[in-house]
Amino acid sequence: MMRTLKGKISLIYLFLVIMIAVVGAASVMDLYGLSKAINGLMTANYKSIHAVDNMLEALERQDSAALIYISVNTEKGIDVFTENTNVFLRWYEIESKNVTESGEQTHVDNIGTYYTKYVKLFSSLQEIRNTQGVEASVEFYNNTIMPDFIALKQELKALSGLNETAMFNAKDRATRTARVSMYWLLALTAAAIAGGFLASRFFANRFLRPIYSLTETMKLVKSGDLNQQAHILSHDEIGELAAEFNNMTKRLQQYEQSAIGTLMAEKNKSLAIVKSISEPLVVLDSHYRILLMNDSYERLFDVREDKAMNKHFLEVNRNGELFDCISGMIESEVESQQKIVKLMLDDEEYYFNIMVTAVKGMDTQPSGFIVAFHNITQMKLLEKVRTDFIATISHEFKTPLTSIIMGTDLILEEEMGKLTIDQKDVMSTIREDGQKLSSLVNDLLELSKIESSKAVFHIQPCRLDGVIESSVKQFYQQAEQKDVILEYECEEDLPRIFADAEKISWVLNNLLSNALKYTNAGDAIRVSAAVKGGRMHVSVKDTGAGIPAEYLDRIFDKFFQVKGYDLEMRGTGLGLAVVKEIIQAHDGEIWCESRLDAGSCFTFTLPLADIDSEH
Ligand code: ADP
Ligand 1 center from residue 575 Cα (angstroms): 8
542 touches ligand 1 (CB under 6 Å): yes
Q: Distances in Å between the alpha carbon of 606 and those of 64, 334, 462, 493? A: 159, 21, 11, 16
Residue 303 in 3-state DSSP?
Answer: coil
In this structure, is the dihedral angle defined by the CA atoms of residues 408, 412, 417 and 420, taken in order, positive or negative?
A: positive
Judge contact between 86 and 61, C-beta under 8 A. Answer: no
Question: Is residue 462 within a helix (H) or strand (E), and if so which, with residue range?
Answer: strand 460-462
Which of 514, 562, 568 best tests ligand 1's pocket when mutated (most atoms within 8 Å of CB)? 514
- 10-residue stretch averages of pLDDT, the chain, 615 residues long: 73 83 85 74 82 93 90 85 93 92 91 93 90 90 92 93 87 82 86 84 81 87 82 82 88 81 82 84 90 90 89 89 86 77 85 88 76 90 83 86 91 88 92 88 82 78 92 94 93 89 94 94 95 93 93 89 66 87 92 94 93 52
With a CB cutoff of 8 Å and minimum separation 6, the contacts of 108 are 92, 95, 96, 99, 159
Burial of 16 (0-12, 13-18, 19+ CB in 10 A): middle
Ligand 1 center from residue 556 Cα (angstroms): 9
Residue-wise pLDDT tens digits, 526-545: 999 999 988 999 999 999 99
Which candidate, 471, 530, 536, places its Cα nearest to that of 498?
A: 536
CB atoms within 10 A of CB 33: 15
Query: Residue whose CA is closest, atom 12 of ligand 1?
Result: 555
Residue-wise pLDDT tens digits, 351-391: 999 998 888 766 677 778 899 999 999 988 888 888 788 88
514 touches ligand 1 (CB under 6 Å): yes
Q: What percent of the chain has pLDDT over 70?
A: 95
Ligand 1 center from residue 520 Cα (angstroms): 15
487/525 Cα distance (integer angstroms)? 6
Three-point CA angle 431, 434, 436, nearest 5°:
110
Q: Give helix then strand counts, H and E, for the chain.
A: 16, 12
Residue 522 in 3-state DSSP?
Answer: coil
Residue 20 in 3-state DSSP?
Answer: helix
Which of 555, 593, 600 best tests ligand 1's pocket when mutated (most atoms within 8 Å of CB)? 555
Which of 507, 576, 580, 596 best tests ligand 1's pocket when mutated (most atoms within 8 Å of CB)? 576
